[in-house]
Amino acid sequence: MSLWRIAWRSIQQRALASSLTGVSMALGVMLVVAVLVAHGVINQSFLNNSGLGYNIVVGAKGGRLDLVLNSVYYLSRPVENIPYAYYQQFTEGKFKPYVDKAIPLCLGDMYRDFRVIGTTPAMFNDLDYGGKKYEFADGRNFEPDEYYGAVVGSIVARDAGLKVGDKFQPSHGAGPEAHVHDPFTVRGVLKPTGTPNDRGLFINMEGFYLIPEHAKPLDDAPAARPHDDHAEEHAEKHHDHDHHEEPAADAKHADDHEGTDGGVRVSEPKHAEESAEHHDEHADSHDKDHEHDDAHQHDHDHHAHTPLPLAQREVTAILVLSAGTFPELTALELMKPINKDSVAQAVLPIREMSSLFSTFVDPLQLVLLSLTVMIVIVSGIGILVSIYNSMSDRRHEIAVIRALGAGRRTVMFIVLLESILLSLAGGLAGWIVGHGLIAALSPWIATQTGVSIGFWQFVSYELVIIPGLIALASLVGYLPAVAAYRTDVAKALTTTP
Amino acid sequence: MLLLQDVHKTFREPDGSALPILSIKEFRVAAAEQAVLMGRSGSGKTTLLHIIAGISRPDSGVVRIDGHDITSLSEAGRDRFRADKIGYVFQTFNLLPGFSALENVMLGMSFAGGRPDAARARRLLERVQLKHRLTHRPAMLSVGEQQRVAVARALANRPKLLLADEPTANVDSGHQQQIVDLIRQTCQEENVALLLVTHASEVAEQFNRVDRLEDFNCVEATV
Ligand SMILES: Nc1ncnc2c1ncn2[C@@H]1O[C@H](COP(=O)(O)OP(=O)(O)O)[C@@H](O)[C@H]1O
Ligand SMILES: [Mg+2]
């Protein structure tokens, strides 16, 4: 009979004490697994976004972390804005040589509990996440000329019940007195990405600017409104809310912007012209494809909206992917002049998050981990007490085993095995229950964090659990094992049990 | 087979006084011989068997079994020697309560060099008429059955010498004879020398060779 079997039998003999100590060990290991996996999830949801698709975030000077939390994770308090002209430096100005991609973000609005992000279609057309292209579970990206077009993240779609064709109204700030204005129409629902984008509503920046409170008041250039009566008239109409059709950019009106931007070179007309062409094609195809698409039934003479003059525009952040063979080096070159300027700051989101983690999250995790490891150690001491208590009863049995020819080392080893078996059995049970719980909770975790984890998802630290348990078991088993080693066989045999 | 020469054992009482138990000039058991040693309670029978089995050491003297002086062996060497060459039947059976009858017998083979032989364990249990009790725990067996399991266990590893310490003392009178017969027969079949110690004359009388511990144990003289 193997020594394992002998050890296991003796565990079975003390079934109650064994299962109690085993359960406490299981609980301890379960908690360790939970903390480790939680750590992994948090890390993954924040740090492993190395595939953000961009490497620099540019925003107003201020808290670097705030900027990252806002523009990458859509968390934290809203930050200040920077002029639109500054954004143009990235698309066509002095920073352009350093830039591969630059996506503007306008933050500050909410829909229910979700952030509304004003941006351009490039957000999903040009950016990758984790090396993958954004895909749509339903619908498509909004077009540049669909001023009131929107794309929603998978979690938003599910929780807010938004689907393609639905309309929603972003609210400015948290106040309930939010103004009523034109609604945005959902054009597409993103497939789950495991990124913060799952929790965002992305609206066309042009529409965002047309929400009344989003126009930056022009103190020095009050005349910088579109000097087109037509447009003015329609801007008023817009305020009256006498129409809710999907607006579209119109080449004629876009032309009228030239020179209204207070000095910044305007690229809008060209852009708008392209859009207009695009739009026409689009409208045609939509007439064929979507019979329900009343949004495109608009009257081309009825010019719904005029883009906000550039001077009144602001962006909250610019997501930048630096250009070049070594984008990291380019990034550093690009960041230097930006950070020297008084307008904006450029930060590396990964670096900010790493430093947040190493100063705040990691120590917290360490404390939690220490506590749970402590529970495991206490469970180990429970095993020690349980086995040690049984030793007085078992002295006789050990003497019998010795009388059958087992050496001192053998009986010592049997007791050690007992401790190891109990720890490992408890630990394994705890590990399975832990992972089972995580698997059961994984839909919820995915909702909360965008990270989906399955039963078989391990954290590499977990590999330490098994050798750790064996070491702990040997340590706590040592005392009773020595008692077994020291058993006086002749004496124990002559004292009746 | 077994030779004891000038074996002395003295216990130290808790109050510090010396308590001589054994002082044996010479005692022999031949190979495959069946010997009985009679002695009243407290005369040192169990102490002597512990010494022969190598469980405890004499203060002085030689214990030679199958050509080996076990007093010259280390404790680990004696453990190993016991596992290989000696079977032991206890007065109180000493079956392990957590193990089935079969497992108890297998345990008798677990500490010697070779692999445990389940087939032999089964055969032995069959031999002691416990074929249908293989998986029973000791608590589910009668005392007579328990002692039969103990006999099977003692013979499991094909010992050269079987030591039986008052094997019938805790068995109900109806089964005492059965146990003695079983021990004697199986030892004969297995060609194992037997040294049985008892205080019961009705058991001792059945043997051809009966020694009285008091006759050659000289402790009284030394006190
Ligand atoms: N470890 C010990 N320390 C002191 N005295 C002992 C010890 N073991 C046995 N004795 C004493 O030795 C005597 C013989 O014991 P034992 O060999 O068990 O006798 P028997 O088996 O013949 O009844 C008894 O008086 C017993 O009290
Ligand atoms: Mg005795």
Which ligand places an atom closest to the C-alpha of B92? 2
Ligand 1 is surrounded, with C-beta below 6 A, by A 491, 494; B 11, 19, 21, 39, 41-47
Model pLDDT, residue A177: 52
Q: How many other C-beta atoms are found inside a 10 Å radius of the C-beta of residue A381?
A: 15
Ligand 1 atom with the smallest distance to the CA of B39 is: 22
Q: Which of B76, B83, B92 sits opposite A404 (nearest CB)?
A: B83
pLDDT above 70: residue B20: yes
Model pLDDT, residue A219: 59
Q: Which of B55, B76, B153 sits opposite A489 (nearest CB)?
A: B55
Q: What would the mean pLDDT of B37-60 be, rounded to a whole number?
A: 94
Q: Which of A397, A408, A409 sits opposite B96 (nearest CB)?
A: A397
Paired residues of A168 in beta bridges: A184
Q: Which of A13, A405, A409 sits opposite B83 (nearest CB)?
A: A405
Which residue of chain A has the CA closest to B93? Answer: A400
Task: Please give the structure tokens belonging to residue B111.
Answer: 């500490």
Model pLDDT, residue A185: 94
CA B197 – ligand 1 centroid, Å: 14
CA B39 – ligand 2 centroid, Å: 9
Which residue of chain A has the CA closest to B84? Answer: A405
Q: Tell me, what DSSP letter sits at residue B217?
A: B
> Does A354 or B2 have the greater pLDDT score?
B2
The pLDDT tens digits of the residues spanning B168-209 come to 999 998 899 999 999 999 999 999 999 999 999 999 999 999
**Mean residue pLDDT across chain B:** 92
Q: Which residues in chain A have their CB less than 8 angstroms from residue B94's CB?
A: 396, 400, 403, 493
The pLDDT tens digits of the residues spanning B80-115 come to 999 999 999 999 999 999 999 999 999 989 998 878
CA distances from B44 to A255, A494, B40 (A): 121, 12, 9
Report CB contact under 8 Å: A13, B97. Answer: yes
CA B47 – ligand 1 centroid, Å: 6
* In contact, A93 and A16? CB cutoff 8 Å: no
Model pLDDT, residue A303: 43
The pLDDT tens digits of the residues spanning A66-83 come to 898 888 888 877 778 999
* In contact, A163 and A143? CB cutoff 8 Å: no
Please tell me the number of Cα atoms within 13 Å of A240 on its side-chain side.
9
CA B49 – ligand 2 centroid, Å: 9
SS3 label, residue A299:
coil
Model pLDDT, residue A274: 43
Low-confidence ranges of chain A (pLDDT < 70): 45-51, 173-180, 217-304, 446-454, 456-457, 496-497
Model pLDDT, residue A201: 94
Torsion angle, alpha carbons of A348, A354, A357, A363, to 10: -150
Instruction: Give the ipTM.
Output: 0.95
Model pLDDT, residue A224: 40
Protein residue with least CA distance to atom 13, ligand 1: B42
Question: Which residue matches tokens 């000696």?
Answer: B86
CATH 3.40.50.300 assigned to B2-216: yes
CB proximity B85 to A under 8 Å: no
Which residue of chain A has the CA closest to B154? Answer: A404
CB proximity B42 to A under 8 Å: no
CA B22 – ligand 2 centroid, Å: 13
CA A135 – ligand 1 centroid, Å: 88
Total CB pairs under 8 A between chain A and B: 80
CB proximity B11 to A under 8 Å: no
Question: Which residue matches tokens 């591969």?
Answer: A100
Q: How far apart are CA A104 and CA A463, in angstroms?
A: 43
* In contact, A148 and A204? CB cutoff 8 Å: yes
> Chain A residues within 8 A (CB-CB) of chain B?
1-3, 5-6, 9-10, 12-13, 396-397, 400-410, 489-490, 493-494, 496
Report CB contact under 8 Å: A404, B108. Answer: yes
pLDDT above 80: residue B218: no
Q: Which residues in chain A have their CB less than 8 angstroms from residue B98's CB?
A: 9-10, 12-13
* In contact, A59 and A102? CB cutoff 8 Å: no
Query: Lowest-pLDDT range, A367-371, B33-37, B42-46?
Result: A367-371
Shortest distance between the Cα of B80 and any Cα of chain A, in A, equals 6
Is the pTM here over 0.80, yes or no?
no
